A and B are shown apart, each in its own frame.
Chain A
Amino acid sequence: MLKQVHFKSSALPYMLVAPQIIITLVFFMWPASQAIYQSLLIEDAFGGNTQFVWFDNFIELFDDDHYVKTFVRTLFYSAMVALLSLSVSLILAAMADRVIRGTGIYRTLLIWPYAVAPVIAGALWAFLFYPTTGIISTALTKIGYEWNHQLNGNQAMFLVIIAAAWKQISYNFLFFLAGMQAIPKSLIEAAAIDAASPAKRFWTIIFPLITPTTFFLLVVNIVYAFFETFGIIHVVTKGGPANATETLVYKVYKDGFIGLDLGGSSVQSVILMVLVIAMTVFQFKFIERKVEY
């Protein structure tokens, strides 16, 4: 943690941490504590009286069928994004790890989507699937499948999952590939001498050895789907049709900035904070394991 050889205390270290600590206090601690404080209050319709109600707001929120549905939908959405993106990038990384030539070129070509903003990714996929003229949607119509994600909730969900998973492929690919390339070649060679087929080597050696990477990526992907894909949903479906693609973060935004229900929105913010903390703690548990291995 601290260097063996270090400087003695003086005013200097306090000055060095000051900028970050001040920004953290003003823009992180204070707003977060405000959210927590407001989530425990109830305000009457005219904003005159506030009353401290402990956890009534939370109980009320979880009694709300609409919120519970959004919660379940967000879990489903994140799980699908993580699953789709992880499996595609795992296959691609396994292939890139096998080939001798071209790994660098493949990596360069696959790295692109990492740099694309979620909202731009949303716009690209919305164009491909635009009901009347999109390249993919018209092709689907030709083979007899009616596509209109502006009316069909399941199709809308499918589209945002695809767009979100697409953007995350690069990131997952880079980590999987780095994980695979860190495995000593002698292990794979030994298995090859024992006549294990490439598929068998993958499932019995490579895949188990990259488990820490996989767990790390799983958490990162779920956090990504929860928080960073707001732009995709906002531009592709606006949470619709009929709330079919509304996620927790989208609902915080909608209730707070469009509905102007600050109390309700801060309760939701607090729940999101608890979720992030849980996921971060979970992730660090696995990182510690990784250090041992």
Chain B
Amino acid sequence: MIENRPVSTFISHAILIAGIAIVIFPIWITIVAASHDAARLLQVPLPLGLGDQFFDNLKYVLGKGVGDSAPLGLMLFNSLIMALMIAFGKIAISLLSAYAIVYFDFRFRMFFFWMIFITLMLPVEVRIIPTYAVVADLGMLDSYWGLTIPLIASATATFMFRQTFLSVPDELLEAARIDGAGPMRFFFDILLPVSRTSIAAMFVILFIYGWNQYLWPLIVTTDKSMVTIVMSIKGMMEALEETPQWDYIMMTSLLAMIPPVIVVILMQKIFVKGLTETEK
């Protein structure tokens, strides 16, 4: 600190705590609502403290689902598969293409680079209907492939790895060459290990991106057994009658946010570094 001003330091903390209270409030209320029964959540005023139904609600939604939805256990599994396929798929193809673009001199190198670059400008939302048509023609509706592959090509990851590779000292390649390593040997034994921080940061970003997909899964899946947890919320809020079953809905919301929140918090340092240093 530059100078000692106890009053202004106190005010800074107070503002931060107030800000955090506002940011955390909806999440706290979610936990509270998930721990009461449906009847209690219809009586005004609603509780602000925890109830005792948490584990009953948890057991119920995991096994049975809400209304006529699939059991949440299955949805969590689908979400996990989707998030992992997107994260690993994107990382794998981006590592390869970034490696080619940075370390090889070949014809159409810049052409390929710009082709990848342009996908930055085409989020799935703007080309949703023709993309849906392609996936339908390929017979990939209601499958994990249809859910993930159209989301896998990503300029962001390619850019990040390109940046990382460019910062790797040239001497590493020279040394590897002298020792007789070929291109793939160099890639696996040297380049990947030295880039592991970027890969980990990208994993966090992509896992969350994949887990939180909504519009695309909503469109390509109609089969109840392919539903992901994030997209199930909508159906639950509309199902049944006018009054949503808030206890189960909030429990579902909680389950839907826990995995990505855990990933972010556990890998916070790497994630923050990766996010703020490369996305610019």
- Which A residues contact B (CB, under 8 angstroms)? 1-10, 12-14, 16-17, 19-21, 23-24, 26-32, 34-35, 38, 88, 91-92, 95-96, 98-100, 102, 106-121, 123-128, 130, 132-135, 138-139, 166, 169-171, 174-175, 178, 185, 188-189, 192, 198, 212-213, 216, 223, 227-228, 230-231, 234-235, 249, 252-253, 256-257, 262, 265-266, 269, 272-273, 276-277, 280, 287, 290
Contacts and interface: CB of A to CB of B under 8 A. Distances in A.
Given A31-B127, A124-B253, A234-B234, A175 B276 contact: yes
A92 B214 contact: no
A280 to B, nearest CB: 5
Given A124-B30, A127-B249, A3 B103 contact: yes
Contact of A26 (B13, B116, B134): B134
The secondary-structure label for the interface of chain B is helix
A227 B134 contact: no
B130 A266 contact: yes
B3 interface: yes
A23 B93 contact: yes
Interface residues of B, number: 101
B166 A3 contact: yes
Contacts of B109: 2, 13
A111 B107 CA distance: 44
A31 B26 contact: no
Given A3-B166, A13-B104, A227-B126, A128 B29 contact: yes
A111 B27 CA distance: 12
A106 B23 CA distance: 11
Contacts of B15: 91-92, 95
A95 B184 CA distance: 48
Contact of B134 (A20, A31, A185): A31
Given A3-B166, A107-B268, A269 B127 contact: yes
B125 A23 contact: no
Given A19-B96, A20-B116, A192-B2, A269 B153 contact: no
